[in-house]
Structure 1
Amino acid sequence: MRYIFVTGGVVSSLGKGVASASLGALLRARGYKVTAVKIDPYINIDAGTMRPYEHGEVFVTASGAETDLDIGNYERFLDLDIPVGSNITTGQVYLEVIRRERAGDYLSQTVQVIPHVTDEIKRRIRAAGENAGAEIVLIEVGGTVGDIESLPFLEAIRQFRFDEGDDKVLYLHLTLVPYLGTSNEFKTKPTQHSVATLRSVGISPDIVMVRSKEKLPSDITRKIALFTSVRENRVFSSYDVNHVYEVPLALEEQGLGKAVEDLLGLERTHPNLGVWQNAVRVIKHPQREVTIAIAGKYTAMPDAYLSMLESLTHAGIANDARVNIKWINAEELREGDLEEQLGDADGILVPGGFGIRGIEGKIRAAEYARTRLTPYLGICLGMQIAVIEYARHVAGIEGANSGEFDEYAPHKVIDLMPEQLEMDGMGGTMRLGDWPMQLKAGSTIAALYGIPQGGTVRERHRHRFEVNPAYTAQLQAAGLEISGVTPGVAGRGAGLVESIEIPGHPFFVALQAHPEFKSRPMRPSPPFAGFVAAALAGKEGGRAVASPVNADAVEANAAQGNAEA
C-alpha cells in the first residue's frame, strides 16, 4: 500500500476533507483501489454525541459507525463504502492502549506516548487500508499543525516514511494564502510559518496545496515554492469554486494527479472524469430549476444537513435541474405564516433530528404539504412527524405525539424501540447502519427503487424511536399507506415501519432510514431523485411518474438487500 497524509495549517475548516476526497477521486478515476481515513484529535470515541451546531452532521457508515462528516465526503467522491475503523479518534486510541495495559499486554513496560500510542495509531491506519483492500490510503489529520492534541498523530505519520520507505509515503500540506484588498496582494507568510511548524515535528511536505479566494498567480506560486523548498510544479492552488464537485477538475487541470503518480512511482494513466464533468455541467447550466423548503432546526449550520443537501444536488443532476434551498426555521413556523414561508416552495422536506425544539413547526409543515398537495419528503424524524400529523388531523387520534417529546402523551404513535429500553449509555447505542426494507408491491417507493413488484433494499439508519405498532391498523384504516417494513423481526408481526406514503397525493413519501447517506453524484438516492422530479412536475403543471434514475445501481441495491435480509 501507498499512504498519502493530508495535514492543514493556519486555520481550521480550510477544506482538507474536500481536498482529500478530490485527490481520491482523481486516483479512483485512474483505476486505483483507494480508501480514506479521517483522524480526529478529540477525546470522544466517535462523533455520535456531539452537537450538530458545532461539529456538523454525524455521518453513519454501512457498518453502523457514527463518524465525522468528512467520511461522507469520501464516500461520495470515491463512490465506495468506507469500511469500519476509518474514523480514528484520540478517545479510541487511548481507550485501546489503556485496555491493553490493564490486560497485561505491556507487562514490565512503562506505557508512553512513544512508542505505545503512536504504534496504536499506525496499527489502526494500516488496518483501515487492509480492511478496504486498498492500494492507496488517504489519511486526513484533523485540526491544524501546532495543535497540542494533534502531536501524537503527527509523530505517528512522521514514522510512516521511516517504516515504509520514501516511495510509499507522501505528505500533502493544505494551508491558506489570504488576499489583502487594501494592498491588493496575496500574503504568503502564513503558509511559510505553517510549513515551518510542520517541519519542526519532522515532516517536510512533498506537495503544498493552497486555499485562496482566486487562483494564485505564477509569481506567488514561485515564492511559496522557494520559501517552503517544494518544487514549483508541486504547489497547487485550491481556489474558491461554485461547487465542491468542480474541485477535482480544477486540481487535475493543474497536474495534481500526475504529481502524485511521480512521487509514489505510479504508472502514468489518463483519468476518466466524465462523472465530474457532467455534474459540473448540470450545476452550472441546468435545464430547469426548483425550490425546496427545508423545515429544520439547525438552519444556521447547513453542515448539520450536509449529506441531505448533497443528495438534493445529486437529485438535481439526475433531473438536469438546479435545486434551490429555502431554509425554514421550524421553531419560528407559525400557523399564520405558512403560506408566506411555504407557498413559493415546489417541495417540502423535513429532515432528521433529535429533541423537542421546532417539532410543532415541522408538524405544520407536513400538514401544509399534505393539504396543499405539495410534494413532501420526510427523513427519519420527518417520517415520525408525518405520522403524528396524520394521526392527529386525519385518523382523529387526539393528543397523538411521540414519547420522545411527551412521555405522558395519551397516544404515543411514535415510541421508543423496545430494545432501546435495555441500552445503557448514549454513544453508539441507537439502531445504526444498514438495515433491510421490504417494499410493498405497487407503492410509490417501490417504483422509485425500480422494483414495482416489491422487494428488499437496504438503507442506513440512526434512530431510537419508531412508529408504534399498536397504532398501525388505525392509521392504515384512515388511509395512510405503510409501504415499507423491516422484514423478519422476531415477535414484531409485520416488522418495523420503514416508509409511509399517502395514496392519491402527487408525492408524499417518508422513510425512517437516512437514504442521503448512500447518495452519490453518479448514483443519486431514489427517494431524493423522485422527490425532486415530483417537485419539478408540480412546478411545470404535470405529475411525475415514479421511476428509478439509475437502474443498475437500484438493481444492485435490491440484490444486496434480498441476499442479506
Structure 2
Amino acid sequence: ISSDIQSSNKTAISAYIASLLDFNKIKIHYLKLNPALSVQLGLLAPQAVGEAFITFDGGQLDKDVGILERSLSYPLSKKSCLTLGQAIDTINVSEANSKDCCFEFLSMDDHLVQYIVNHIKSFSEESEDIMVIEIGGSITELGGQAFCKAVSKLEPRSCHHIFVGDNKQNFFNSINSADLDLFIQFDDQQRQRGMHIEDLILTQINQLISKQLKVKMAQVNLEHTCLHSPFNQKFTKQIQVAIVGRYIQNPAAYMSILDALYTAAQFNQISISLKFIQSLYLNENNVDENLKDVDAIIIPGGFGQCGLEGKITAIKYARTKKIPMLGICLGFQLTIIEFARNVCGMTGANTTEIDPNCEYPVIDKLHEIICGLTGECAQSQKKFQEISYNKYFGMNLGDCVINPIKGTIAAECFNEDKKERHWHSYAVNMKFWQKLAEKGLIAAVWDQTNNIVVGVEIKDHPFFVAYQFHPEFKSDYGQPRKIFEQFVTTAHNLLDKKSKNTNKQ
C-alpha cells in the first residue's frame, strides 16, 4: 500500500484490510516501511512526528503501528516497522563486525534492497497467510523507491501480490507490474464522485479471500469496517476534558490517549470536547482561569524539564478541586512529586532527572532504586530487571506484569490482563514511600516483584489515579479499556450531579 504523496490514506486502508480480515478470523502480519533515516523512533520530538508506539516486546515504533494494533484483536511485534535508517544502520554494523567481508563496498541496489527483502521474508517463518505492507511517505522520495524495489523483488511464485495505490500514476511507474494480480486505484476523480474507500476495495478483498485462501465468500462477513467515524457522533451527554501537556501543538503526540478516550466515550454515548493546555505557561495565577470549566484532566507522559511545574500545578488543582484526573507515565511521577510537596511537606521534592541534588528525590533512576533495595527484595528485583536493563539500557520497556491491589480502581480495571506496557527509566524512590503512604497516598498497583509502586490513588476523591505504565497502548477501537471508561463516566456523573444541584437552587 503506497502513494506518490504523503497522506494518512495508506494507514486507513491498511487498518481497514487488517480489521476486516481479523473480523473474519484471518490473522495477518503488518509492516510499515518508513523512509525516514531515523534509527531510534522513541527519541524523536513528539511535537514534530507524533508519538512513538510501544509494542508488547519493547519496540518503539511509528505511531501508525498503534492505529493498526488498535484495529486488531491481537498485538503486533517490534518487527512491524522498519525505517530506512534502521536498515542502513544494520548493514553498516554488520560490515563493521564482519570478520570476513565478502564484498568490496556496500550499495543501495544490492545490499540495502536485499536487507529489506530479507526483513519482509522473515515474516513468512510464521503461520499467517496475509501480510499488509505499507510504504510510508511518498514513493517519489529516494527512500520510497528503495522500498518499492524491495517489494518488486518478492518472488511472485511464492506469494500472491495485491498493490494498493493512492494516485496510481507514479506508483505504476515505480513497480514492475508484470506479475501482479490486481491494482486498486484511488484518485481525486473517484473521491469527487463520492466513492468510499471501503466500496472500492470490497470486491478486491472478496477476490483475495476467495482466490488465494480458497474460502467460500458466503462464510465471510464484509460489513465490518474500522473506517467509519464514530468519533464525530454527537450525544446529549457531553464533557470537556483537558489535556495538560508539552506537545499540544501536535495532537498526534497523544494519539493513543485520544483514541482510547474517544472510544470509551463513544461506547458510553458521551460526547467529548478537548481542551489542550500548554503546561509551559500554566501556573498558580492562571490555573483557575484555564481549568475551572473542565470536567476531567489528563496529565500525559513526556520528556525533559519544560512544562513540568505547569503539570504539577494542574495535578494540585485536580486533587484539591476534586476533578477526575488520570496521570500517565511522567504524569504519574509528577503526581508523586505534587503529593510529596503539598501534602507531606517535602518542600523541593523532585525527580533526579531534573534536579540530581534535590533534598527529597522521590523519583529516581530505576537502576539506582533497584540497587538500593536490600535482602530478598533486592535479589528478586535485580533478577527480574537484569534482562530488561541490559536489553533496554536501564528502561522498563514493553509488557510487564503488574499487581493491582484489591479494593482499588486499578483492581476493577486491570484485573483481567495483568500485563501493561511500560516505557520508563525512572520510578518511585521507595525510601520515601512510607511517608507518602502515611499521608494518604494509596499504592494501587505494584510491579511484578511487589517491590516498586507503579500506580497510586487517594481516598475521598471521585477519581484521582496515576500509573507509571501506559494503558492507552493496549486500547482497542472495538472495545474500550475500563480505566478510560471509568474516567469519562465519572466525569459525566459528577457534571450531571452538579447540574441537578444547580437546578434545585
Whether TM exceeds 0.5 here: the answer is yes
Structure 2 counterpart SS, 1:504: coil
Give the aligned residue type for 1:312: L
Cα distance per residue 1:413-471 (max 9 Å; x no partner): 111112699999998753210111111111121122357xxxx7111011111111111
Aligned to 2:192: 216
Q: What SS is found at the alignment partner of 2:74?
A: coil
Q: Identity, % of aligned pairs? A: 29
1:258 aligns with 2:206: yes
- How large is the Cα RMSD of the aligned pairs? 3.1
Aligned match of 2:337 in 388, 393, 417? Answer: 388
Counterpart residue number, 2:412: 447
Give the SS at the match of 2:145: helix
1:485 matched to 2:436: no
In the TM superposition, residue 152 of structure 1 has moved relative to its aligned partner by 2.2
Code of the residue aligned with 1:387 in structure 2: it is: I
1:471 corresponds in structure 2 to 432
Partners of 1:376 and 1:297 lie apart in 2 by 17
Structure 2 gaps, min length 5: 372-385, 499-505
Q: How does 1:409-424 map to 2 (within 5 A)?
A: 409-418=358-367
Give SS of 2:298's match.
strand
Deviation of the 1:195 alpha carbon: 3.6
CA deviation map 1:313-340 (0-9, x unaligned): 1211332222221111111212222222
* Alignment match, 1:173: 165
Q: 1:83 to 1:161 in 2, by over 3 A?
A: same
Aligned residue number for residue 380 of structure 2: none
Amino acid at match of 1:374: I
- 1:246 counterpart residue number: none
1:330 lines up with 2:322 in the alignment:
no
Three-state SS of the structure 1 residue aligned to 2:26 is coil
CA offset digits 1:280-306 (Å, max 9, x no partner): 567525352221111001101001100
Q: Give the aligned residue type for 1:210.
A: F
User: Structure 2 CA distance, aligned partners of 1:104 and 1:174?
Assistant: 45
- Classify the secondary structure of the residue corresponding to 2:56: coil
Which amino acid in the other structure matches residue 112 of structure 1? S
1:534 aligns with 2:490: yes
* 1:93-492 correspondence runs (5 A): 93-101=87-95, 102-104=97-99, 107=102, 111-131=106-126, 133-162=127-156, 164=158, 168-175=160-167, 192=169, 194-199=170-175, 206-210=182-186, 215-217=191-193, 237-238=196-197, 255-261=203-209, 264=212, 266-267=214-215, 268=217, 269-271=219-221, 273=223, 283-286=232-235, 288-418=237-367, 430-450=395-415, 457-488=418-449
Task: Confirm or deny that 1:503 pairs with 2:459.
Answer: yes
Change (3 A) 1:275 1:115: closer
**How far apart in 1 are the matches of 2:67 and 2:347?**
43
- Contact 2:60/2:78, CA 8 A, preserved across alignment: no
Which of 3, 8, 22 aligns to 1:8? It is 3
Distance in 1 (alpha carbons) for counterparts of 2:223 and 2:328:
32
Output one character per residue of 1:489-523: Cα deviation in whole Å (capped at 9) or x when no partner: xxxxx422210001110000100000100000223
Residue aligned with 1:160, SS: coil
8 Å Cα contact 2:15-2:226 kept in structure 1: no
Distance 2:165 2:225 in 1: 27
1:170 is matched by which residue type in structure 2? I
Verify: 1:52 aligned to 2:46, yes or no. Answer: yes
Deviation at 1:380, TM superposition (A): 0.5
TM-score normalised by the chain length of structure 2: 0.86
Residue 516 (str. 1) matches residue 472 (str. 2): yes
Q: How many equivalent residue pairs?
A: 480
Distance of 1:439 and 1:199 partners within structure 2: 52
Structure 2 match to 1:30: 24
In the alignment, is the contact (CA less than 8 A) between 1:24 and 1:138 conserved in 2?
A: yes
Change in Cα spacing, 1:214 to 1:353, as seen in structure 2 (3 Å) is: farther
Could you tell me which amino acid in structure 1 is paired with residue 182 of structure 2?
D
Secondary structure in 1 matching 2:434: helix
Q: Which moved more, 1:27-36 or 1:474-483?
A: 27-36
TM-score, reference length from structure 1: 0.78
Change in 2 beyond 3 A, CA 1:507/1:349: same
User: Structure 2: which amino acid aligns with 1:34?
Assistant: I
Whether the 8 Å contact between 1:29 and 1:273 is mirrored in structure 2 is no
Mapped contact 2:397–2:421 kept (Cα < 8 A): yes
Displacement of 1:46: 3.3
Q: Secondary structure at the match of 2:153?
A: helix
Matching residue of 2:503: none
1:87 to 81, 90, 94: 81
SS of 1:482's partner is: strand
* Structure 1 portions without partners, runs of 5+: 1-5, 176-190, 219-235, 239-248, 489-493, 543-565
8 Å CA contact 2:300–2:331 kept in 1: the answer is: yes
The answer on whether the counterparts of 1:12 and 1:144 sit within 8 Å (CA) in structure 2 is: yes
Query: What is the Cα deviation at residue 373 of structure 1?
Result: 0.5
**CA shift in 2, pair 1:72/1:266, >3 Å:** farther
| CA deviation string 1:337-377 (max 9, x = no partner) | 22221111111100000011111111111011000100000
